[in-house]
């Protein structure tokens, strides 16, 4: 299946079947939503790790 990054210019979009384009766009939206959710999880994990590191530093008298 193609994605928008494979489409070189607007004429390629205009030449695509409307139903095919709808499927591609819906798939992209779904994929982007999943990536954002995954990134949010990673962000939360990094923040938790940073907090733990800061707590350890504080116990060591560095912070």
Decide if 4 contacts 29 (C-beta within 8 A).
Answer: no
DSSP state letter for 61: T
The pLDDT value given to residue 3? 61
The pLDDT value given to residue 1? 46
Decide if 56 contacts 50 (C-beta within 8 A).
Answer: no
The pLDDT value given to residue 8? 65
Decide if 63 contacts 54 (C-beta within 8 A).
Answer: yes
Element (H, E) at 15: helix 10-15
Looking up tokens 């912070």 gives 63
pLDDT along the chain (63 residues), means of 10: 63 81 90 96 97 96 87
């Amino acid at each position: 299946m193609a994605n928008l990054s494979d489409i070189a210019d607007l004429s390629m979009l205009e030449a695509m079947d409307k139903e095919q384009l709808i499927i591609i766009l819906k798939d992209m939206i779904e994929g982007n939503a999943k990536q954002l959710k995954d990134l949010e999880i990673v962000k939360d994990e990094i923040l938790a790790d940073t907090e733990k590191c800061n707590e350890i530093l504080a116990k060591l008298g560095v912070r």
